Structure 1
């Protein structure tokens, strides 16, 4: 069962990573075309803003989920570093996990509410605004799930006999 979960996690992370890279490339291409169209007005890009907005939102949240999964977000870890090799480090990690889970649950809930209440469409392509926002609760749910696994790992580390040295290091 756990192997299937790990495989699913790897696939989700790969898909989000590929999506983020593809959207970054699309944004680079669109920005380049927009610059060229300003100097050489051969074609109109009146639709430019809504595609950039959609692509940017999806890229940001897909990237955030991948960074979250790999624990690559910037963080202040001085306290964790000071507690290296001590059980207290797990306690701090557990508290951080709980705060993260609470925030991510709220984020997921309110972004889901935003998606459900969005009724407008984009002006040119008539793309429903729900599509712009749906990435938020999806990545929020993924990051919450990943955080629950981090939490369980830290609980296991705290409870594991001999996993860390109980004496303070100087």
Structure 2
């Protein structure tokens, strides 16, 4: 049951990522059209596009982790010993999990401090922008934990060697 919920959550985040990308593309297109066709630039579009891009970047970092596509993780592929590669892969997962949990905990302070601070143009709480990092850290941490619980994922970059 928990794995089904996790699978649903992953699909939801991937759908959200697509929606954010579409929204950013439409926002940037509207910005260009209003500026050059109508001669009346939109004052909110640049800020919205920037905040959407920030969230896209954070959620994409989770997707890269999920597929073990980070450049730093690729270096583990070049070890010639499968047992050593597996051990290093698990060590990387432990280190990344620790980093994600620590920074997730620390990000709560930033998010709470900035909740009352509105953005310059849209006047949305800046905590909405900064919480993108919290979402990424939580997703990566959950991916590691559920990967361990499922015990069906090879350690870090084994999938990449088959490409």
TM range (shorter): 0.7 to 0.9
Deviation at 1:19, TM superposition (A): 0.9
Contact between 2:110 and 2:130, CA under 8 Å: does it hold in 1? Answer: yes
2:54 match: 57
Alpha-carbon distance between aligned partners in 2 of 1:75 and 1:142, rounded to the nearest angstrom: 19
1:162 match: none
Summarize the alignment of residues 17-166 of structure 1 with structure 2, pairs less than 5 Å apart. Answer: 17-84=14-81, 86-118=82-114, 119-151=116-148
1:168 match: none
TM-score (norm 1): 0.75
Deviation at 1:7, TM superposition (A): 1.1
- Give every structure 1 segment of 4 or more consecutive aligned residues whose post-TM-superposition deviation is greater than 4 Å: 151-154
Return 64-73 or 137-146, whichever deviates more: 64-73
- After superposition, what is the alpha-carbon deviation per residue over 1:48-78, rounded to whole angstroms, capped at 9, x for unaligned? 1221122112222222223322323334445
Unpaired stretches in structure 2, ≥5 consecutive residues: 156-163
1:11 match: 8
Deviation at 1:20, TM superposition (A): 1.0
Q: How many aligned residue pairs are there?
A: 153
Contact between 1:97 and 1:147, CA under 8 Å: does it hold in 2? Answer: yes
> Per the alignment, in what secondary structure is the counterpart of residue 134 of structure 1?
helix
Unpaired stretches in structure 1, ≥5 consecutive residues: 159-170
Contact between 2:34 and 2:41, CA under 8 Å: does it hold in 1? Answer: yes
Contact between 2:101 and 2:141, CA under 8 Å: does it hold in 1? Answer: yes
TM-score (norm 2): 0.78
